[in-house]
Chains A and B, each alone.
Chain A
Amino acid sequence: MNAATLFGLCGAALVGFGLYGLVTNPEPLRKVLAFNLLGSGVFLVFGAISKRAAAAGLGGDPVPQAMVITAIVVAFAATAMAIALVLRLLEETGRATLSSDGPGGTSTDGGNS
């Protein structure tokens, strides 16, 4: 088992944990943290794929590496937007919560305001 497979499996496990955290934790900040974990797990999977495709004297295939760099920047921008929304919600309502459960939660339909 080489480094690529090892970190690829690590990435797969992180994807599982991150997804679990995103779906089950009710607080938005914890969801954002779990999303970051999930994202980094996906990037590790990309990294494993890059390392095992090493050729032409390089340590890894540069195309997935470039994709990961792009995705890291995009994920940071997403986190910044999510955190800004959470903090603004905190200012407006004094609590930071999605009043019904978030992804995977129960239906809130039928109500009107």
Chain B
Amino acid sequence: MTISFFYDVGLAVLILGVGTTTIFAHTAFAAVIAFVVYGLLLAIAWVRLAAVDVALTEAAIGGGLTGMLLLGAVARLRHAKVDDIRTGLPVRLVAGVLCALIAAGLASAILLPPAVIPTLAPMVMENLAQSGLGNPVAGVLFVYRALDTLLEKVVVLLALLGVWSLAPDSAWGGIPALRVYARPNATLTFLAQLLPPLGIVVGVYMCWVGAKEPGGAFQGGAILAAMWLLVMIAGLESPPSIGRPWLRLLLVVGPALFLAIGLAGFLLANAFLAYPPGYAKPMIVAVEIALTLSIAVALGMLAAGPPERVRQQ
């Protein structure tokens, strides 16, 4: 029973407590605030689980960007009429029993591990040196299971197009109506002038270092997106209109480069998404840089929402 065990127990209890507040809070606002706190606590939990890459992603995307999205939604929904329907007690009881059963099933799967715990870690490490990477998670993402990462990038692009499709016909090609909250000379304006240079450096560093240490395209891209959103919310920059060619090109450059390198694998290595020996690391870093740009733009525009204003001519 070391001190770190008590720390872990305390963290887990806190996470459960804040998590249940998210579900059972009376107002949506309280629930969302609890959720943001929950996201940050989860990031610490991930560090305790020795998954620093995941902790970075959770803090940036799961806690940060999702929290921002939800806070914006709660602010707009505050003026909405709320139906006073509550789900009936029998439905809640049945749902409660089913959920308890499912949770119990998962818990027993955790508490009763198989006799020999299967793991792919040795196989990952054996082959990692071949690609020149030092970060095993980057190895899985870009070398062994690169197809998943490529498809996931397309998923994000499709979600963005789906969000854009919700615009009224007249506003297509216009500017997302990201709510601007700043008054002149307010703290937000000050922060939006101070933080982005630091944030950009951190984001670029995180993308660059991801080949050797925890980090990578997703984490770096999320931070860049957050800085861009900060500048837009403070009113210092206006969101781009969605039809802009540079916007579309930046969105596509990451997956396009990834796909091109994958197809080049037919000629240079001997399979799709295979890397020629000795050139793997530079190609992966190039893909990561392009992906960071695309992810930053995509996540930023996802958080900005569908276009609502026609661009001013």
Interface residues of A (CB under 8 A from B): 1-21, 23-27, 29-30, 32-34, 36-37, 40, 43-45, 47-48, 50-63, 65-70, 72-81, 83-88, 90, 94-97, 101, 104-105
Contact = CB atoms under 8 A, between A and B. Distances in A.
Contacts of B9: 6
A95 B80 contact: yes
A90 B291 CA distance: 34
Interface in B142-197: 144-145, 148-149, 152, 155-156, 159-160, 162-163, 166
Given A19-B99, A47-B51, A70-B149, A101 B85 contact: yes
Given A25-B23, A76-B65, A97-B83, A33 B35 contact: yes
B96 interface: yes
B283 interface: no
Interface in B25-55: 28, 31-32, 35, 38-39, 42, 45-46, 48-51, 53-54
A103 to B, nearest CB: 10
B125 interface: yes
B107 A12 contact: yes
Question: Which of the four size classes fits the interface of chain B?
Answer: 35 or more
A40 B42 contact: yes
Given A27-B28, A76-B299, A90-B80, 18 more contacts: A3-B8, A3-B48, A11-B106, A12-B110, A14-B16, A30-B28, A30-B31, A33-B23, A59-B51, A62-B120, A65-B54, A69-B137, A69-B141, A79-B66, A80-B159, A84-B306, A86-B73, A105-B87
A63 B57 contact: no
Interface string B80-101: 1111011100011001101110
Given A20-B95, A25-B87, A56-B125, A83 B73 contact: yes
14 contacts: A9-B12, A14-B16, A21-B23, A29-B77, A37-B35, A45-B110, A61-B119, A62-B137, A63-B144, A63-B145, A68-B51, A86-B77, A87-B305, A104-B87
B302 interface: yes
B152 A70 contact: yes
A60 B295 CA distance: 26
Contacts, number: 277
- Interface secondary structure of A, over-half rule: helix
B259 interface: no
A51 B69 contact: no
* Top 3 A-B pairs, shortest CB-CB distance: A59-B50, A16-B103, A77-B159
A65 B53 CA distance: 8
Contact of A104 (B38, B65, B95): B95
B77 A63 contact: no
B140 A7 contact: no
B62 A12 contact: no
A5 B62 contact: no
Contacts of A48: 49, 110
A50 to B, nearest CB: 6
Contact of A58 (B77, B83, B136, B152): B136
B159 A52 contact: no
Nearest to B219: A69
Contacts of B48: 3, 7
A20 B49 contact: no
Contacts of B115: none
A35 B139 CA distance: 30
